[in-house]
Amino acid sequence: MFLAAGCGMATTPSNDAAMGTDSPSFTDARVDDSGVGPCAYVDTLDRTCASDADCAVGLHQTNCCGSSVMIGLRSTQQSTYASSESACMASYPACGCPATLPTTDSGETVTDTGAVLAACVSVGPTMVCRTYVTMRPPNGR
């Protein structure tokens, strides 16, 4: 899944080397005085799992237009996600461009965020949470 962010800001999925997995990572091009962007928290969320019941879904804003991705995360990370995502969203200026529809880890476009599910799938040697609507992500990706 790749998104192009508008308004001069880029959010690019990349491999998560720290986890040793192919988990999507969303690196925000904006940075504060410490060299860390206000939305960098998303790359530190625990996405590991043992079963689907360990997973939750979060909506992560990716640019000033309000575009977003539906991310899979470990359910125990929901409070961290909620407080950090609020700060992330508040950090974007209103730029007046139209938001694109959210996408899932499986690459599906989302028209109803309530229909998004999270699955625990193997990615290399690690089990991670991935979002989908109808195309459950296969093991091994």
Tens digits of residue pLDDT in 128-138? 999 999 988 88
- Contacts of residue 20, defined as CB under 8 A and 6 or more positions apart, other chains included, come to 124, 125, 126
Q: What is the mean pLDDT of residues 75-83?
A: 94
Burial string for 102-122 (b: 16+ CB within 10 Å, else e) reads bbbbbebebeeeeebbbbbbe
What Å distances lie between residue 10 and 4, 103, 126, 138, CA to CA? 7, 16, 28, 28
> What pLDDT does residue 36 have?
61
Tell me the residue type at 59: L
Q: What is the mean pLDDT of residues 59-72?
A: 93
Q: What is the mean pLDDT of residues 67-73?
A: 95
Average pLDDT, whole number, for the chain? Answer: 79
Q: Give the Cα-Cα-Cα angle 60, 61, 62 (nearest 5 degrees).
A: 110
- Contacts of residue 62, defined as CB under 8 A and 6 or more positions apart, other chains included, come to 3, 5, 11, 26, 68, 69
Q: What is the mean pLDDT of residues 92-97?
A: 87
> What pLDDT does residue 141 have?
57
